[in-house]
Amino acid sequence: MPSRKLPNYLRGCRKGLGLSQKEMAFLLGCRNGGSVSRYERFTREPTLKTALMLEAVLGVAIRELFGGAFEQARQQTARQAQELVEQLRTHESSPPVQRKLGVLDAILNDRHANHLNAYDNRSQ
């Protein structure tokens, strides 16, 4: 696995589908292909709505499509989680604190996918 992913893999996915930047811009509701070009050259980040539209058009999950950005966000979250763990450890141990520590441990060890699955099962 690459240790340093690119911010996004939009260009390859778009070319793979045989779409031009202009056509992609039309699908995303942009005025011209300039915005798509800027996303592909990593000079601009799309909004959440545009990112979701990109996922819908390209059929690739956002975390795969924006591999580098996701990796960066995950690392930042892990740092914050570590800080929160240290704060919680100063509290008295109780079942809610233990549960939170379990969640944070999952975030730190990249097991959050299991938590998401558990959430999906709960909500069904």
Partner 1 sequence: MTTAHNEIDRVLSIDLCNRGVGFVVLEGRRKLVDWGVKQARKARETRTLAALGQLIDLYRPDVLLLEDCFVQGSRRCPRVRKLLKQTEDLAVVRNLKVCYVSCAQVRQAFARSKAVTKHEIACVIAARLALLAPQLPPPRKPWMSEGPRMSIFDAAAFALSFYESSGNTNHQSNLNISNS
Work out the angle at residue 82's Cα, subtended by the Cα atoms of residues 81 and 87, and round it to the nearest 5 degrees: 95
What residue spans of the chain are helical by DSSP H? 10-17, 21-28, 34-40, 48-58, 62-65, 67-89, 95-108, 112-123
Least Cβ distance, residue 75 to partner 1 (angstroms): 17
| Core vs surface per residue 72-105: b (16+ CB within 10 A) or e | eeeeeebeebeeeeeeeeeeeeeeeeeeebeebe
If binding is defined by CB under 8 A, does position 18 make contact with partner 1?
yes
Residue nearer to partner 1 on the CB measure, 58 or 104: 58
Q: Residues 9, 24, 30, 39: which binds partner 1 (CB under 8 A)? A: 9
d(CA 40, CA 45): 9
If binding is defined by CB under 8 A, does position 6 make contact with partner 1?
yes
Q: Residues 20, 29, 42, 72: which binds partner 1 (CB under 8 A)? A: 42
If binding is defined by CB under 8 A, does position 11 make contact with partner 1?
yes
Q: Residues 20, 32, 41, 66: which binds partner 1 (CB under 8 A)? A: 41
If binding is defined by CB under 8 A, does position 61 make contact with partner 1?
no
Chain residues in the site for partner 1 (CB under 8 A): 2-6, 9, 11-12, 15-16, 18, 41-42
